[in-house]
Structure 1
Amino acid sequence: MKATIVTVGDEILIGQIIDTNSGVIAKSLDKIGIGVHEMLSITDDKQHILNTLSSLQNKVDVVIITGGLGPTKDDITKKTLCEYFDDQLIINEKVLTHVTQLIEQYFKRPITKLNQDQALVPSKCEVLFNQVGTAPGMWLQKENTVFISLPGVPYEMKYLIENEVIPRLITKYERPFIIHKTILTYGVGESLLAERIETWEDNLPEFIKLAYLPNPGRVRLRLSARGVDENLLKKEISTQVEKLQLIISDCIVGFEEDETIEVVLGKLLTNKKLTISTAESCSGGKIASIITSVSGASNYFKGSIVSYATETKVNVLGISQEIIDEFSVVSKQVAEAMALQSQKIFKTDFAIATTGNAGPDKGDADAEVGTVFIAIATPKGVFSEKFNFGQPREKVIDRTVNQGLEIIYKEILKNY
């Protein structure tokens, strides 16, 4: 089975907003065995929409359209659908009642004509009732293709996908099983990793595909199996993961789908009842931000000091001016002092500290641009590592964050 996702809106094409809807839809379809053939973003133009629908007719099984269903004049998707399906708009009384109650109860004002028009739907469509918004979804079929139109507001689209679209697709179609397993690795680059697992990769069964998903400092390996026997797929995926562990156990930090290093680290800290804090300079608080993006992080993360300027390192974090003068602000000594001070101030078991030159200029330090020191304070003492992450600035910061998380994770896993 194949599906195409179509986003409608000039705001996407000019870069004003980022299309997040397609990713949510694609993941939802993938989980029920429907592969996404392509994703398209098109302009708010009637003829463009008509041409797109026509080009997809009978080429894919499902077309999911998001956007263009609002109350304003530039939202033309419903009218265009009517033209494509040789249909007309009619008022859906259930939707009208819902819109009226929503406007009058929550916004405390009478419903307007534009609001009432939200209840207009093509007469041939099956209405997908939107409990969390005013624009309903619509399900239409022409020959061998189902066309599903959803609002572009992300939380409304997600509600309809989960509660209306996916259940209907499951009922309507017989689908293959698609099983994914993602292995999260740290500290080994994509090319070196590929060399290490080349023989294993070459011997994968034909129904299992491997994808490399690299980021600075980390590579995710995604195994995807497709077929009609779910138990066979799961068994073979598990077998292949066990074989892979024997080859690269030193750089694997997690296995669950979408389980990032911060999630894995959080689970480790929680299970071992340990706490952590940060003192960040060149990373600008990004390590703390990523750690606290995980639900429940308050159980193990106690705080951060972003001592970006030299005077902040001295006046707030309490680093000796003599150490800075003697060794430079970007140095092993300052990084380790920062980690120890964070550990002391927040009374944590561990602390991560960063100091470096992210660039493009040297700032207060003598070290070359791209130089970074990452220090880890532990219950047994403190240690640090020196890196040169090159340029550009964004790369330096991202690699600092990833490397810091990797070092602390491996330290706890190995010694505590």
Structure 2
Amino acid sequence: MIAEIITIGDEILIGQIVDTNSVFISKALNEIGISVHQITSIQDDKQHILEALEAAKQKADVVLITGGLGPTKDDITKHTLCEYFDDTLVKNEAVLAHIEELFAKYITTSPISNMNRDQAFVPSKAQVLMNTYGTAPGMWLEKDDTVFISMPGVPYEMRGLMTNYIIPKLQKEFERPFIYHKTILTYGMGESSIAMKIEDWENNLPDNVKLAYLPNFGKVRLRLTGKGTDREEVTNVVDAYAQKLYPIIGDIIRGVEGKTSIVTQIGELLVAKGQKLAAAESCTGGRIASQITQESGVSAFFNGSAVTYAVQSKIDLLGVPEALIEAHSVVSKEVVEAMAVGAKKIYKADYAMATTGNAGPAKGNSNVEVGTVCIGIATPDGVISQEFNFGQPREKVVNKAVTKAFEMLLEEILKNSK
């Protein structure tokens, strides 16, 4: 079953807002076996909307539309739908009662106007989907075996309609295949190198299982997607082929997306030994700590982090000798090792990770080449460090540094666990 998403609104096309609606809708549809083949963003323009609706009808079983349902004159979706479906607007008393109730309960600072009441007018051919969180209802229409579903563009209103009405209705009315994704997380090897190592494995995948490479800042996600009518069979096939990856590239696999992550693995190893972790960050600006604390239960092993961005803070907070900085530069293996040791000491941890670097675009307090990052790991047995150049731009440098720091930390923990 094929779907297309159409987002209506100049604000998306001029970059004023990010289209998060399509992300949510795509994921929700995929989970019930509906494949999104196209996402189209268009202007608040009648002709443009009409053309997009007709084009979508030629290839999609269901078309989901967001935006253009507000009370103001620039919101023209309802009127355009009437033209497309050769229909007229009629007052829906249930929607009107809902709008009046919302204003009476929650919008006490602004009296209800006729413009607000006009949102109760819907195409006569539409099945109304009541919008619990707003005044503009969702609408379900059909033409030539294609379902058109119109929703407001306000994200929380759209999500409510999708969750409460649209997904259950699609599940009830259509037969759909089962789609199953399993995403393997790898660290420390590039996309092309992985492809070469698993070439024979990939060539032997069955026709109903597809592989996608998703590289991102020093890590590559390998997404296996299976599709079929039998849920158990599809799941078992995908899981079996995923398991066959471990003898080939098990040394770089760091978990399964949504189930395990590199932070989870680190935490499990540390908790098992009653050990603690700390961090000291300069160029990564707290992103290591942020990534750790995104997961629940990390207080069992994570004691804390210091963002020592300025040179003086490295001296004052972490105890890095000023002479060491003067002798080797603030971006150096010597300094990052001292940072890691300092963090390990002040947070009373068994392990500590540290970063210092020149993320660019300017050189800052060091003359090292832009893109240079030093990462240090303090362990119960000592301290190690490595120097890298992650190139440019700045965002790439920072994210690659975070990824590499976790990779180095896990490697050291595994060494000490043997």
Q: In structure 1, give the amino acid aligned to 2:241.
A: Q
User: Does structure 1 retain, via aligned residues, the 8 Å contact 2:331–2:356?
Assistant: yes
CA contact (8 A) 1:58 1:143 kept: no
Secondary structure of the residue aligned to 1:316 is: helix
Counting only pairs closer than 5 Å after superposition, residues 312-351 of structure 1 correspond to structure 2 as 312-351=313-352
Per-residue deviation, 1:91: 2.8
Using the TM superposition, name which of 104-113 and 224-233 deviates more.
104-113
**Residue 284 of structure 1: how far off its partner (Å):** 1.8
| Cα distance per residue 1:332-355 (max 9 Å; x no partner) | 121111122222223334322101
Q: Measure, in 2, the Cα distance between the counterparts of 1:408 and 1:297.
A: 16
Letter in 2 for 1:290: Q
Question: How has the CA–CA distance of structure 1 residues 300 and 47 changed in structure 2, closer, same or farther, with 3 Å as cutoff?
Answer: farther
TM-score normalized by structure 2?
0.93
Once the 2 structures are TM-superposed, how far is the Cα of residue 261 of structure 1 from its aligned partner?
Answer: 4.1
Match of residue 96 from structure 1? 96
TM-score (norm 1): 0.93
* Structure 2 counterpart of 1:46: 46
Task: Give me the whole-angstrom Cα distance separating, in 2, the residues matched to 1:401 and 1:13.
Answer: 32
Q: How far, CA to CA, are the matches of 1:364 and 1:58 in structure 2? A: 59
8 Å contact kept, 1:58–1:144: no
Which residue number corresponds to residue 126 of structure 2?
125
Deviations 1:112-154 (A, max 9, x none): 2232233222221111122222222111111210000111111
Report the AA paired with residue 145 of structure 1: T
Deviates more, 1:330-339 or 1:255-264: 255-264
Bigger drift between 142-151 and 291-300 goes to: 291-300
Partner residue in 2 for 1:373: 374
Tell me how far 1:258 sits from its aligned partner. Answer: 7.8
Identify the residue that residue 390 of structure 2 maps to in structure 1: 389
**2:212 matched residue in structure 1:** 211
Letter in 1 for 2:412: E
Query: 1:315 is matched by which residue type in structure 2?
Result: D
Unaligned runs of 5+ residues in structure 1 are none
List structure 1 runs of 4+ shifted beyond 6 angstroms. none
**Partner of residue 200, structure 2:** 199
Q: Aligned AA for 1:55?
A: A
Structure 1 residues 85 and 278: alpha-carbon distance in aligned structure 2, compared to 1, 3 A threshold: same
Cα offset, 1:392, TM superposition: 2.5
Deviation of 1:29 (Å): 0.9
Partner in structure 1 of residue 233 of structure 2: 232
Describe the shift of the 1:262–1:128 C-alpha distance in structure 2 as closer, same or farther (beyond 3 A).
farther
How many angstroms apart in 2 are the aligned matches of 1:158 and 1:268?
38
Cα distance change of structure 1 residues 274 and 17 upon mapping to structure 2, 3 Å threshold:
farther
Say whether the 8 Å CA contact 1:266–1:294 is kept in structure 2.
no
Decide which moves more: 40-49 or 401-410: 401-410
In structure 2, give the amino acid aligned to 1:148: I
- Quote the Cα distance in structure 2 between the aligned partners of 1:411 and 1:121: 63
- Structure 1 residue aligned with 2:66: 66
In 2: Cα distance, 1:348 partner to 1:41 partner = 51
Would you say the 8 A contact 2:266–2:413 is kept in 1?
A: no
Quickly say closer, same or farther: Cα 1:364–1:165, change in 2 above 3 A.
same
The runs of 5 or more residues in structure 2 that have no matched partner are: none
The answer (yes or no) to whether the contact 1:6–1:41 under 8 Å persists in 2 is yes
- Give the stretch that moved more between structures: 303-312 or 146-155: 303-312
Deviations 1:341-387 (A, max 9, x none): 22222333432210111123322223222221111223333222221
